[in-house]
Amino acid sequence: MRVLVTGGAGFIGSHIVDVLLAAGDEVRVLDALLPAAHRHRPEIDDRAQFLEGDVRDAGQVRAALDGVDAVCHQAAMVGMGVDLADLPAYASHNDLGTAVLLAGMVRAGIPRLVLASSMVVYGEGAYRCAADGPVRPAPRREADLAAGRFEPPCPACGRPLEPRPVTEDAPLDPRSVYAATKLAQENLASAWAAASHGTVIALRYHNVYGPRMPRDTPYAGVAAIFRSALERGEPPAVFEDGGQLRDFVHVTDVARANALALHRREAEPGRLTALNIGSGRPRTIGDLAHALSRAHGAAEPVITGRSRAGDVRHVFASSDRAGDVLGFRAAVDFDKGVVDFAHAPLRT
């Protein structure tokens, strides 16, 4: 199979390129080498064809799509960003870029897309109240966060809630600019599939970690932020009380999920299939910080009690559907993966 990987020089994209090349696929990479992810020009496997270009440029996209069978779309601005001044850049790179790519795929007659989506489209995860059953908590109030009341209460009775694994059928409630653009990518891809009879598998990544994460950038996930602090000789600074539940999944597992999606034979044209990609085992953010500090031989993390607008309390995956559809199961154990990550080189 001839595959175009957009963003294929980046953290997740480069691991996808590795897996596809190992499987014998022909790989072309299109990457704009944005400074937020690439301060220095990365090394690209010689077996892959590399094109430096921007998915927002129709001409560059047309050249990148020439002769390929499928597209693995990883190119995006990621993370929480700095402030709302980043909003136009997120919308441009993520949503306009996806629209230009999809239009190019129509012209080139390419019917198969694997899209990098994210668990951020859910907002808060799933919760159950002992009295009222499954509920959706309201956004947390700033006054509660400032007072250290981090757990969202039942919106009906005010009782404590039990976090539950979120499934792909959960309501979508993006609570940040990045989350809104990821949902818009899914909606654009879904519309493209319906109109072109193409096939889209949207992989909703949970908290991905592993080697080649970028260092010292505000456009990174919590694992990269903690690892960057350790690299600077500082303890990880943990927001809230560290009890936030997440699903930390190793980047090699995510890359394998992409390869499985690209090679899936049972096509479902005309629709988007969304799949959670996680480890299936929730851990707290505090667990990650402590495990990284121990493995790095560093001081214990600092629990700051601070919070950020747009952060949610608990969101972790049920990846059962990915198992049924793709045969995907995460293989990298958290303890081993974190120990390796504590000493893995970061992207600088």
The partner residues of 162 in beta bridges, in order of sequence, read 128
Beta strands in the chain (DSSP E): 2-6, 26-31, 49-52, 70-73, 112-118, 126-129, 133-135, 162-164, 199-205, 207-209, 237-238, 245-246, 248-250, 271-277, 283-284, 302-303
DSSP 284-329: EHHHHHHHHHHHHT-PPPEE-----TT--S---B--HHHHHHH---
Number of C-alpha atoms within 13 angstroms, CB side, residue 6? Answer: 31
Beta strands in 55-166 (DSSP E): 70-73, 112-118, 126-129, 133-135, 162-164
Only one residue has tokens 């790519």, namely 101
* Residues 187, 193, 195, 196, CA torsion sign: positive
Q: Rounded to whole angstroms, how far apart are CA atoms 259 and 268?
A: 17
Catalytic residue among 90, 122, 178, 205: 178
Say if residues 218 and 258 touch (Cβ distance below 8 Å). Answer: no
The partner residues of 134 in beta bridges, in order of sequence, read 128
Residue type, 244: Q
How many H-runs (helices) and E-runs (strands) does the chain carry? Answer: 11, 16
Could you give the 3-state DSSP secondary structure of residue 244? coil
Phi, psi at 209, each rounded to 5°: -140, 165
Say if residues 71 and 25 touch (Cβ distance below 8 Å). Answer: no
Q: Rounded to whole angstroms, how far apart are CA atoms 103 and 99?
A: 6
Other beta carbons within 10 angstroms of residue 325's beta carbon come to 16
| Active-site residue, 209 included | no
Q: Rounded to whole angstroms, how far apart are CA atoms 317 and 230?
A: 28
Active site residues: 178
